[in-house]
Amino acid sequence: MLKLAIYGKGGIGKSTMTSHLAAAFASLGKKVIQIGCDPKADSTINLLHGQPLKPVMDYLKEGDEPDHLEDISQIGYGGVLCIETGGPTPGLGCAGRGIIATFNLLEDLELFETYQPDVVLYDVLGDVVCGGFAAPIREGYAEDVLIVTSGEKMALYAANNIYTAVKNFEDRGYAKVKGLILNHRNVINEEEKVAQFAKARHLRIIGDIPRSDTIIQYEDQGMTAIEGDINSEISQRFIALAKELLNEGS
């Protein structure tokens, strides 16, 4: 089973990268779970034709603990099983606790034993890698971390924070950083900046995703570019990345 946690600065495009990767794996015939670990609960929306999924924390806040996986999940494009952790009411609780509560429930419901996925993707909020936000990289969940960045200063700053935090967790048996996904913002000398950052930390740039109007076009329609046009150049980029990750994970 390939288990990946995807981190990066808020607004850098983690959910776009994650949902497109999920769709790419599904297009290759793989059984995929995508778990959105963000209070906004919008990670899976483009796998569900723009329809938001009720997050697990909403059930728990209502005092209605779900008894079945079907209560908290939905099947999206390509058969991807979609789950959103959600979070507490803003200002009234720690968002990270929502992730922990959700993961405890998923264990009780035997998610992985029941669904038996080939690939699990965790889309994790921002550049915070502590408390509940570290839960996806603990032993038994994700095995590898992909950091999404651009060449922008703050994106690289966040990427460095994530890299440092994950490195500090290595001796606990947590996941390791597998590499970077360069999500282009077309800033000056972007490729050189990210390459220099990667080289200094002995990381690979595993994915190179150009800025794409095709992605925007299909996300406006509530879908990934892979569902909209699997033969497009950008869709093929994600499929190539999915193949590479599968080959390395086998």
CATH no. for residue 152? 3.40.50.300
Over its C-alpha atoms, the chain yields an Rg (Å, rounded) of 17
Residue 16 pLDDT > 80, yes or no? yes
Q: Residue range 151-172: average pLDDT?
A: 92
Contacts of 120 (CB under 8 A, 6+ apart): 1, 2, 3, 4, 32, 33, 34, 35, 112, 141, 142
45 or 127: which carries more pLDDT confidence?
45
- pTM to 2 decimal places: 0.95
pLDDT value for 90: 61
d(CA 68, CA 89): 24
Residues of the domain holding 123: 2-249
Q: What is the mean pLDDT of the chain?
A: 92
Cβ-proximal residues to 130 (8 Å cutoff; 6+ apart), any chain:
96, 165
User: Which has more pLDDT, 39 or 55?
Assistant: 55
Torsion angles phi and psi, residue 228, rounded to 5: -70, -45
* Number of domain units in the chain: 1
Contact 224, 186 (CB under 8 A): no
Residue 84 has pLDDT above 80, yes or no: yes
Which residues does the annotation mark as catalytic? 9, 14, 40, 127
Check whether 62 has a pLDDT greater than 90: no
